[in-house]
Amino acid sequence: MRKKVKILVLGSMLYDCVTWGDRLPRKGETVVGYRNGFFTGGKGANQAVQAARMGADVYMIGLVGKDAIGEILITALKKEGINTKHITVTDKSATGTCCIHVDKNGDNAIMTAPQANLDISVKSIDEALDDIQDYDIFLTQLEVNINTTVYAIRKIKERGKIIVFNPAPAHKIPLETFKYADYISLNQTETEFYSGVLPIDQKTCVDAAKKLKEIGMKNILITLGSEGVFYSDKTSSFILPAYKVLAVDATAAGDAFNAAFTTALGGGMGAEEALLYGNAAGAFAASKEGAQSSLGYYDDIENLKKSAIIDKIIY
């Protein structure tokens, strides 16, 4: 990074149970897997860990239950050097959990029970923003209380901070929220939800970006899995192909991408170079098992990034 970056993350904290099998179950079907594991996760926590492993100073706003797995999640973040002062513990709801199925190709199906994550209040945001003022960039998703997230985005934009918004899982939110975010990152399913267009090739990516700009999005990142990432702003549109790895588990690959992009951007890089870091971090995570356990450190990501020349495809 060109400078030491300080990142504020608002997001979810989940305890994951992952089961691996030859294929994903169909509706009503039980598939016998060959092993399972338990991992610390949640989109917000995953992104915070990835940013910290890339060398960023990270502040995390979150909420867990007053239970054993809540303690496990907080301890894991502390071990990464993340500031957890504004992760609150509540006795009104349990810590969030997640069940993940992974097939032999590394594709997954996920169901979460957010629980405490849905109880984060605007009071928590106000307290955190009064206390934390020296961050460079803000990263958030939609895996916690949506009204609180929308409130946080608006308040942080009032303070002139750069915002990277990953509106996932996809939800209906006030469209004005999108205009506050400087960069909006979506996967293919989320893009279809917000634009009505499923991006699978050059034309559909361009069409989707046009629709997204019409509802207020500015700088748009559409992750395309093994095909890379499509980027579109006021002046250009292009695809950066993915780094090729042997996919083992796609869990947290999107979180790795978003956090690495945000860290590089906040560290003084332009959008295109930051996207390369995002692609490399996402590919590295997909080549490992689990959520936070799959996230690479700066040297891992830098080495993968240097392993191939990625030529962008301009539209």
Give the residue numbers marked as catalytic.
255
CA-nearest of 14, 9, 95 to 292 is: 14
CB 143 within 8 A of CB 168: yes
d(CA 11, CA 273): 25
Helix, strand or coil, per DSSP, at residue 3 = coil
d(CA 231, CA 223): 9
CB 119 within 8 A of CB 63: yes
d(CA 226, CA 279): 10
3-state secondary structure 160-201: CCEEEECCCCCCCCCCHHHHHCCEEEECHHHHHHHHCCCCCC
CA-nearest of 24, 183, 5 to 100 is: 24
d(CA 44, CA 65): 16
* All residues at 6 or more sequence positions from 223 whose CB lies less than 8 Å from its CB, including other chains: 185, 186, 187, 188, 229, 254, 257, 282
Which residues partner with 38 through β-bridges?
A: 17
Which residues partner with 313 through β-bridges?
A: 239
CA-nearest of 50, 52, 44 to 5 is: 52
